[in-house]
Amino acid sequence: MRYAIVSDIHGNIESLERALALIGDEDTVLCLGDIVGYGPNPNECVRMIQARAQNAVLGNHDLAALENFGVEYFNDAARAAIAWTQEVLSDESRTWLNGLSYELRFPDFLLVHGAPVNYFEYILDKRTAARAFANTDAPLVFIGHTHIAEYWVQEPDGSIGHKHMQNGGELQLEEGRRYIVDVGSVGQPRDLNPDASFAIYDSSARRVEWVRYPYPIAEVQEKIHHVHLPDYLATRLESGR
């Protein structure tokens, strides 16, 4: 079975279209949330994920768009973008997002937006990674949320390893080790590579591949300006941060 796992699309339909074009028709598409927020095409992204993804979990920006969750912790640009998203979000998008759960458990892996149990926690260091491993018995967890392509591995002795995957690459899963895989972001990469990111998980080969791909950033920037979203949301796309 091949799974294509996308996350943090953030209303960037140009990037989502290109990601889906790279994903095979037989691949099962899974989405880790933050379909809306920041970007200029929230409804289009919801519709496209609704049509193509087999399953999706809720992200914090999706929840913020629905019910102002956590906006007091957002920076000015994120807050302005959520206010705009709330104005344009259709009833259909709202209803569909409202039906998403916080986690999905498959026989051999777990899907959450940020971390197991504490769904919107950021796994940014070995300490938070260790806590995340302790909060689940899943041997493999897929996350997004940080917009950074990387993975954390728990060795049989409990020690934690880490690797950035900002240029793409593969991970061969090994027996006895547990993994937290951050698939990176489709709509707003923040690991200093402006190319967008998603992951392919081949469950029979026990292999994860990070795919980095270019998309027309200038077109998204023009749309951001056109709907008067903050400038910063456009410029950060070209620096990947």
What is the closest distance, in whole angstroms, from the C-beta atom of residue 88 to Zn ion in the complex? 18
Number of residues near Zn ion (by CB under 5 A): 2
Choices 3-11, 79-87, 89-97, 226-234; region in contact with Zn ion by CB under 5 A: 3-11
- 182 counts as binding Zn ion under rule CB under 5 A: no
**Nearer Cβ to Zn ion (185/221):** 185
**DSSP-derived secondary structure for 114-139:** SSSSSTT----SHHHHHHHHHT---S
What is the closest distance, in whole angstroms, from the C-beta atom of residue 152 to Zn ion in the complex? 18
Closest by alpha carbon to 147, among 66, 47, 233? 233
What is the closest distance, in whole angstroms, from the C-beta atom of residue 234 to Zn ion in the complex? 17
What is the closest distance, in whole angstroms, from the C-beta atom of residue 34 to Zn ion in the complex? 4
- 191 counts as binding Zn ion under rule CB under 5 A: no
Dist. CA 91–CA 108, nearest whole Å: 35
For CA atoms 200, 27, 13, 98, the dihedral sign is negative
What is the closest distance, in whole angstroms, from the C-beta atom of residue 155 to Zn ion in the complex? 29
Alpha helices per DSSP H over the chain: 13-22, 42-52, 60-67, 76-88, 91-98, 126-134, 217-226, 231-239
**Nearer Cβ to Zn ion (34/191):** 34
* Binding-site member from 6, 12, 15, 34 for Zn ion (CB under 5 A): 34
- 121 counts as binding Zn ion under rule CB under 5 A: no
**What is the number of the residue whose Cβ is closest to Zn ion?**
34
* Binding-site member from 3, 6, 8, 111 for Zn ion (CB under 5 A): 8
Dist. CA 140–CA 44, nearest whole Å: 31
How far from chain centre, in Å, is Cα 155? 25
Interface positions, 44-63, toward Zn ion (CB under 5 A): none
Given strand 178-183, what is the order of strands in its sheet?
Answer: 103-105, 110-112, 140-143, 178-183, 149-154, 160-164
Which residues of this chain interact with Zn ion, rule CB under 5 A? 8, 34
